[in-house]
Amino acid sequence: MSDKPINLVRLSTLVAVAILVGTELVGASWAAGWALGGLFQLDPLVSRAFEVVFALAGFVGLYFFMRTAIKHEPIRG
């Protein structure tokens, strides 16, 4: 761990990006699951399963996005 202090400006930028991108990515992926369930007129339980799978894919995408963002905008330094 580095001895450098936490840069609060960079931290606030990363938190804001996480909120903005997370809302967009997870919301869009959840909506895609909902839309596919409605488009194919699936059973409500299967439609919910689609929504959950797509939302989890959105969270995975958010994880990889934030991992890359932290590499390019380190909190310490």
* DSSP-derived 3-state class of residue 12: helix
Structure tokens that stand for 52 in this block: 């959950």
Q: What is the pLDDT along the chain (77 residues), one digit of tens a residue?
A: 668 899 999 999 999 999 999 999 999 999 999 999 999 999 999 999 999 999 999 999 999 999 999 999 999 87
Q: Are 25 and 58 in contact (CB under 8 A)?
A: yes
Beta bridge partners of residue 76, listed in sequence order? 6
Between the alpha carbon of residue 29 and those of residues 13, 14, 38, 63, 70, the distances in Å are: 24, 21, 14, 14, 23
47: number of Cβ within 10 Å:
19
